[in-house]
């Protein structure tokens, strides 16, 4: 485990349901000694911590638990283990069942008080009993909050509203506020749990056990107990618990939980397999190549769990807004209750107190504080279902404002499987000799172009003939072959800029002892969905698509022409790619984001410089998962358009919730100030609006429809 991984901790905040409480817990825990940063995700009820090197995790957890309990008596802090998915433990506890029964009984007493012809004192007693049954926990929590000085949480505000209603003789309204608040809270929790369960089911790739083969026997063990090099048996219907290589057996694998693709993948001896895949029909023996903590399933689960800690600007804004909105409304309520009776002749105190109580009910910002992070939570989950891993709400938000998409060529728009299509020796050279020298010069290169040249040579290069090997980044290689100085690379390396003629592929020029010896042309096949990807991006409203490549102009123009790209920049060194990306960023309109799509391995500087870095074919690639902000788990560039549509749908849902919630709340506040709103409208503006916003948030994971010329 890396040092950085050891400094990260994540906890489940069981019982957390208050948005303002979540914000206060995040702020106070973030200020503890030993804590570098803290983030509370209300949607998944998780606390993510980054600890300083000298921090004691156990002591920090104890302090964080005390802070959480101070803000919510029912909150329990529980550490999430390395493979647990956020959203576990959403079943109904005995305490929750008891609470539900109490609310049902309270509703029955409330209905009896309304329907039966009882004396005033009896009715008041029924309404009081129903309030205590439904909201006893709320009143206790409010008292504890008051003791600790937290007077702006929803428990305190609801308690004041209910007690105030009883004080002015509005017994039925007081009971109704508490009952409907608890009923709405129940449905909100159900909606949130539904969203969390859908993502937990989606990410149900964590294996519970592994069948370890040792000493001629098979025994069931925990995946953490299996070491690299061990052999495991995977029976039909079982999940592959760890990454490895098939040594015996043939089968079909369901990789849909990893890639979003429903088509099974066939494997045989020698095939690489990834944890989280499901073995469909044949028994497999797999040699483990990665320990459990480094396996694909663990990395994906860790990525999804930590996505909530990277908050979008909208989430941070709502958190800050809630800190000021609630106190402002509360102070307005106090002013509304006491200033008119003091300043306006004939104004009745009870009437203005009643109006002020409506302010208190509407003052809770739960609809915003809960629905906004839940929208991003749903958007990230919806993307994951399609094999698109987004590392945080901030990146999803940035994807919703994409102006320019920049592609790398090799391995992104093209397959990266090269083959030699032309060998043109200079005068005095022949084809076989030229290929032989080129293959030896490229002997130690891992680049796909070098591999294609070695394959075309036919015979295996002899290392004894090669010395002085050197890679010139972005240009080619230099080596001594049989004592002769050989340069193999682009025109800039070999001094052939003026002699280079157009070619439909990548050109490798060769010079031997400073003299031109010929050229080799290597073609790369364009991916089947590359042109479709560019078209879908334009339909999604992306203004410009550009390709940056170190390849020659002829190869770049061919790919740009066949895929429909707006522009292609060729023969770029790695540093020049960054400079070109910065130039494109300056040309983008205000607020427009730049996305770079590469393989996640050779493009780290450009991925880091882009507003959003997207790695292609990230399945099984540690480097891709580490380097990028968004990982497309399959090798299909067309999935980027799906990611952008999901991001825009998520952004649209967030804005709908914000406008709807604030619009209704401010309307009811205005009506209450003029005496035109009752407590029933206030309950709807709080509980009803929160419930509608939460239900609307569940739509966030669906892609927005394609729209031509959106921008």
Per-residue pLDDT of 223-236, as tens digits, reads 989 999 999 999 99
Tokens for 522, please give them.
């290597």
Contact, 429 vs 536, CB < 8 A? no
Same domain, 535 and 408: yes
pLDDT for 180 beyond 90: no
Is a pLDDT exceeding 80 seen at residue 497?
A: no
Q: Do 498 and 632 fall into the same domain?
A: no
What confidence category does residue 288 fall into, taking pLDDT thresholds of 50, 70 and 90?
very high
* Proportion of the chain above pLDDT 90, given as a percent: 30
**Residue 157 is assigned to a structural domain of this protein:** no
Taking the CA atoms of 637, 642, 645 and 649 in sequence, report the sign of the dihedral they define.
Answer: negative
Helices (H), 10-153: 19-30, 57-71, 94-115, 120-147
Kindly tell me if the per-residue pLDDT of 496 is higher than 50: yes
* Same-domain status, 16 and 30: yes
Distance, C-alpha 457 to centroid of its chain: 46
> Do 406 and 439 sit in the same domain of this protein?
no
* Residue 158: pLDDT over 50: yes
- Whole-model pTM: value is 0.75
Asked if residue 101 belongs to a domain, the reply is no
276 lies in some domain: yes
- 579 falls within a domain: yes
Give the pLDDT mean for 72-95: 61
| Domain termination residue (choose one: 265, 289, 313) | 289
Bridge partners of 612, per DSSP, are: 595
pLDDT digits (tens, 9 = 90+) for 297-334: 777 777 766 776 677 888 888 878 877 887 888 888 89
pLDDT at position 187 is 77
What's the pLDDT band for 73 if we cut at 50, 70, 90?
Answer: low
> What's the average model confidence in pLDDT over 685-689?
85
Specify the range with the lowest mean pLDDT, choosing from 22-31, 241-250, 594-603: 594-603
pLDDT at 702 exceeding the cut of 60: yes
25, 58, 80: which is the final residue of a domain? 80
Q: What is the mean pLDDT of residues 480-486?
A: 94
Are 518 and 535 in a shared domain?
A: no
What's the burial of 29, exposed, middle or buried (CB within 10 Å: 0-12/13-18/19+)? buried
| Average pLDDT score, the chain | 83
Strands 414-425 and 217-221: what pairing? unpaired
pLDDT at residue 243 greater than cutoff 50? yes
Could you give the maximum distance between any two Cα atoms of the chain, in Å? 117
How confident is the model at residue 367, as a pLDDT?
75
For residue 494, being part of any structural domain is answered with yes
278 and 418 fall within a common domain: no
In the prediction, which pLDDT does 596 show?
Answer: 94
Task: Give me the CATH number covering residue 563.
Answer: 3.40.50.1000
pLDDT in tens, 398-435: 999 999 999 988 888 888 778 888 899 999 999 999 99
pLDDT at 442 over 50: yes
Residues 477 and 622 in one domain: no
Q: Residue 487 is encoded by which pair of tokens? A: 């340069």
Residue 3 reports pLDDT greater than 50: no
Please tell me whether residues 457 and 595 are part of one structural domain.
no
| CATH classification of the domain holding 10 | 3.30.70.100
Q: What's the pLDDT score for residue 555?
A: 81
State pLDDT tens for residues 193-210. 766 665 555 556 777 789
Kindly state whether residue 103 falls inside one of the protein's structural domains. no
Q: What is the span of the domain harbouring residue 234?
A: 227-289
The verdict on 408 and 545 lying in the same domain is yes
* C-alpha atoms less than 13 angstroms from C-alpha of 678 in its C-beta half-sphere: 7
For residue 236, give the CATH number of its domain: 2.70.150.10
Residue 546 lies in a domain: yes
Are residues 521 and 440 both part of a single domain?
yes
| pLDDT tens digits for range 643-652 | 999 999 999 9
pLDDT confidence tier of residue 488, bands split at 50, 70 and 90? very high
Residues 449 and 545 in one domain: no
Clarify whether 243 is annotated catalytic: no
pLDDT at position 690 is 83
Same domain, 502 and 555: no
Q: Which of 465, 497, 525 is the last residue of a domain?
A: 525
Residue 645 burial (CB count, 10 A): 23
Query: Given 408, 436, 603, 629, which residue is catalytic?
Result: 408
User: What is the Cα–Cα distance from 301 to 202, expressed in whole angstroms?
Assistant: 11
| 282: in domain | yes
Q: What is the DSSP letter of 153?
A: S
Q: Which residues contact 139 (CB under 8 A, 6 or more apart)?
A: 132, 155, 159
pLDDT at 203: 56
pLDDT mean over 96-104: 84
Concatenate the DSSP letters of all residues of 381-394 into one string: HHHHHTTEEE--HH
The total domain count for the chain is 4
Q: What average pLDDT does this structure show over 168-191?
A: 82
């Amino acid at each position: 485990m890396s040092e950085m991984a050891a400094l990260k901790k994540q906890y489940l905040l069981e019982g957390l349901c208050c948005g303002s409480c979540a914000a206060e817990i995040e702020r106070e825990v973030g200020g503890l000694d030993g804590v570098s940063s803290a983030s509370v995700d209300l949607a998944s009820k998780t606390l993510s911590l980054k600890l300083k090197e000298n921090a004691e995790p156990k002591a920090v957890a104890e302090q964080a638990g005390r802070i959480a309990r101070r803000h919510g008596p029912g909150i329990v802090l529980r550490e999430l283990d390395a493979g647990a998915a956020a959203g576990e433990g959403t079943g109904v506890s005995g305490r929750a069942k008891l609470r539900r029964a109490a609310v049902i009984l309270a509703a029955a007493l409330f209905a009896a008080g309304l329907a039966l012809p009882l004396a005033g004192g009896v009715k008041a007693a029924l309404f009081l009993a129903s309030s205590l049954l439904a909201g006893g926990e709320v009143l206790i929590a409010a008292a504890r909050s008051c003791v600790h000085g937290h007077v702006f949480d929803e428990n305190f505000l609801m308690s004041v509203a209910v007690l105030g209603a009883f004080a002015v003789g509005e017994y039925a309204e007081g009971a109704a506020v508490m009952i409907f608040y608890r009923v709405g809270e129940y449905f909100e929790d159900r909606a949130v749990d539904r969203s969390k369960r859908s993502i937990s089911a989606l990410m149900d790739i964590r294996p519970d056990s592994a069948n370890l083969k040792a000493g001629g026997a098979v025994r069931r063990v925990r995946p953490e107990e299996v070491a690299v090099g061990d052999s495991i048996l995977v029976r039909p219907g079982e999940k592959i618990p760890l990454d490895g290589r098939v040594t015996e057996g043939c089968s079909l694998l369901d990789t849909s939980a990893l890639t979003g693709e429903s088509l099974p993948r066939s494997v045989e001896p020698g095939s690489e397999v990834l944890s989280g895949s499901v073995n469909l029909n044949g028994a497999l023996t797999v040699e483990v190549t990665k320990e459990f903590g480094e396996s694909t399933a663990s990395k994906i689960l860790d990525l999804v769990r930590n996505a909530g800690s990277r908050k979008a600007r909208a989430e941070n804004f709502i958190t800050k807004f809630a800190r000021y909105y609630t106190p402002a409304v509360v102070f307005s309520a106090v002013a509304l209750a006491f200033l008119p009776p003091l300043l306006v002749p004939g104004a009745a105190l009870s009437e203005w107190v009643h109006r002020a109580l409506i302010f208190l009910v509407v003052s809770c910002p739960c609809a915003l504080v809960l629905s906004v992070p839940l929208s991003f939570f749903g958007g990230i989950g919806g993307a994951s279902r399609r094999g698109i891993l987004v590392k945080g709400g901030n990146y999803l938000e940035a994807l919703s404002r994409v102006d320019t998409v920049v592609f790398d060529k090799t391995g992104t728009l093209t397959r990266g499987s090269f083959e030699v299509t032309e060998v043109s020796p200079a005068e005095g050279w022949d084809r076989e000799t030229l290929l032989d020298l080129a293959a030896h010069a490229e002997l130690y290169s891992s680049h796909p172009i070098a591999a294609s040249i070695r394959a075309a040579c036919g015979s295996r290069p002899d290392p004894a003939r090669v010395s002085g090997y050197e890679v010139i980044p972005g240009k080619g290689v230099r080596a001594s072959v049989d004592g002769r100085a050989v340069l193999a690379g682009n025109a800039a390396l070999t001094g052939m800029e003026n002699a280079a003629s157009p070619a439909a592929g990548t050109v490798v020029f060769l010079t031997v002892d400073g003299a031109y010896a010929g050229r080799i042309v290597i073609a790369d096949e364009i991916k089947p969905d590359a042109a479709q990807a560019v078209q879908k991006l334009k339909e999604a409203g992306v203004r410009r698509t550009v390709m940056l490549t170190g390849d020659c102009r002829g190869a770049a123009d061919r790919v740009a022409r066949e895929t429909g790209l707006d522009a292609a920049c060729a023969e770029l060194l790695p540093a020049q790619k960054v400079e070109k990306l910065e130039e494109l960023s300056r040309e983008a309109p205000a607020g427009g984001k730049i996305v770079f799509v590469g393989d996640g391995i050779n493009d780290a500087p450009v991925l880091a410089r882009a507003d959003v870095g997207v790695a292609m074919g990230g399945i099984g690639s540690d480097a891709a998962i580490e380097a990028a902000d968004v990982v497309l788990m399959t090798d299909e560039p067309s999935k980027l358009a799906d990611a952008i549509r999901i991001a825009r749908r998520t952004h649209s849902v967030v804005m709908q919730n914000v406008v709807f919630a604030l619009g209704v709340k401010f309307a009811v506040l205005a009506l209450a100030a003029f005496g035109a709103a009752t407590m029933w409208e206030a309950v709807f503006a709080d509980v009803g609006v929160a419930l509608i916003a939460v239900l609307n948030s569940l739509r966030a994971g669906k892609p927005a429809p394609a729209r031509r010329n959106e921008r």
